[in-house]
Amino acid sequence: MTDLADSPAVRRLADWDHGRLEGLADEYDTPLYVMDLDRVKENYTRFAAAFPDAEVMYAAKAHTGKAVLEAVLEAGADIECAAWGELQRSIDAGADPNTLQYTAVNPPDHDLDYAADLAEEAPGLTITIGATDTLDRLAERGYDGRIAIRINPGIGTGHHEKVATGADAKFGIPYERVPEVADRVREEFELVGLHAHAGSGVLTEGLEEHCRAIERVGEMARRVGDDELEFVDVGGGYGVPYREDEEPLDLERTAEMVREAAGELEATLKLEPGRYVVADAGLILSEVNTIKEAPDATVVGVDASLATLIRPAMFGSYHPMLNVSAPDRDSHPVTVGGPVCTSADVFAHDRPVARPERGDILAIGNAGSYGYELASQFHSQPRPAEVALENGQSRVVRRRESLEDVTRVEQ
């Protein structure tokens, strides 16, 4: 078990060893993803300790790298997967397929084929459905095993409208239809749980709305008979502070509010943190290559781009930034952008950063969740390497792609 005595609730960029980060950039080149696996284990252990009577899974979609999956398994987590590839990668990392939970969202035929075949060998696999069509398609494949019903609670929460899944018709069975769907599942399959996920990036000030969704899940569980369910899964969505002036999630208060919102349950409460476990365990190192004085801004060009980290372009997300080469220089407001030919390829506008010079290394923080997962090869840019830190050592866990990797699938 990870010792939490010296593990702060959030790791800021200032807490990293800047000299070591410069050394990693020099040794492994840039742009470079860095993942601290010790921090991953600390974060999972801290979260699980706040919910001692619950089952805490890891939501794989936040970061499916093998080293990260191995780390959360070592910390004692089971894994929740949103696609067949995540199921396979979890198994490759050492997960028992009988412990996996597959949350199917409009699953392609290949995904359902894979899940149904896997369940023949691993009957403990749980498939979470969000549409009755999925039940029909599973029945066509001869599946009659473990099913959880995903509820649409009608309440969405989180840092951006694109992640407020709890109010999006794409996700889950409409609330009032859940009892009839539960009756059908009991007749044709094995109903083991209810599931909901309200949104993502929830901090303490957003907990009340988040818990309103959890209240509805608890109410529905009692309505359909929670004494006949194994679990009630209230999903993840628990956030970390991206901005320097934001406070970390108050886990003690969070646990108290979640338990109160769920109410009395015979079934086991289940949670699925993803971002909370990996976000502040990862960062990107990028080298400054251009300094341009424009009429309205000082533009700093770096070798990372929206192909490396798309969250600022996709969600308008704020990521902290630090000049690890010279953190003590006077700060200067700069616009930091990459080499992709679009105005969306900007990490920060007028951001105070210790005055960058060509050749400096900038660190972009909180890149451990939905960072490498959303990386692309836009502009024929090979994806970066990823280095893991663990027990004082560093190692490459994902090599840097070459142009041959980019073009390998072409015919």
From first CA to last CA, the distance across the chain in angstroms is: 49
Where does residue 296 rank: exposed (0-12), middle (13-18), buried (19+ CB within 10 A)? exposed
How far is C-alpha 283 from the chain's CA centre? 14
Q: Is 31 annotated for ligand binding?
A: no
Where does residue 44 rank: exposed (0-12), middle (13-18), buried (19+ CB within 10 A)? buried
Cα 66 to Cα 398: distance, rounded to the nearest angstrom: 9
Q: Is 273 annotated for ligand binding?
A: yes
* Catalytic-labelled residue, pool 341, 343, 404, 410: 341
Cα 193 to Cα 124: distance, rounded to the nearest angstrom: 13
At 239, list the tokens.
Answer: 């956030």
341 is catalytic: yes
Burial 123-146 (b: 16+ CB within 10 A, else e): eebbbbbbbeebbebbeeeebebb
Q: Is 337 annotated for ligand binding?
A: no
Q: Where are the beta strands (DSSP E) in 1-96?
A: 32-36, 55-59, 78-81
Give 270-323 as a DSSP string. Answer: EE--SHHHHGGGEEEEEEEEEEEEETTEEEEEES--TTT--HHHHH-----EEE
Radius of gyration of the chain (CA): 22
The neighbour count for residue 377, using CB atoms within 10 Å, is: 14
Cα 408 to Cα 411: distance, rounded to the nearest angstrom: 8
Q: Is 272 annotated for ligand binding?
A: yes
Torsion angle in degrees (nearest 10) through CA of 75, 96, 233, 375: 70
Cα 143 to Cα 117: distance, rounded to the nearest angstrom: 9
Q: Is 275 annotated for ligand binding?
A: yes
How far is C-alpha 93 from the chain's CA centre? 17
Q: Is 212 annotated for ligand binding?
A: no
Cis peptide leading into 52, omega within 30 of 0?
no
266 and 219 in contact (C-beta within 8 Å)?
A: no
Catalytic (active-site) positions: 341
Cite the annotated binding site for pyridoxal 5'-phosphate by residue number.
237, 272-275, 370
Cite the annotated binding site for substrate by residue number.
275, 311, 370
Cite the annotated binding site by residue number.
237, 272-275, 311, 370
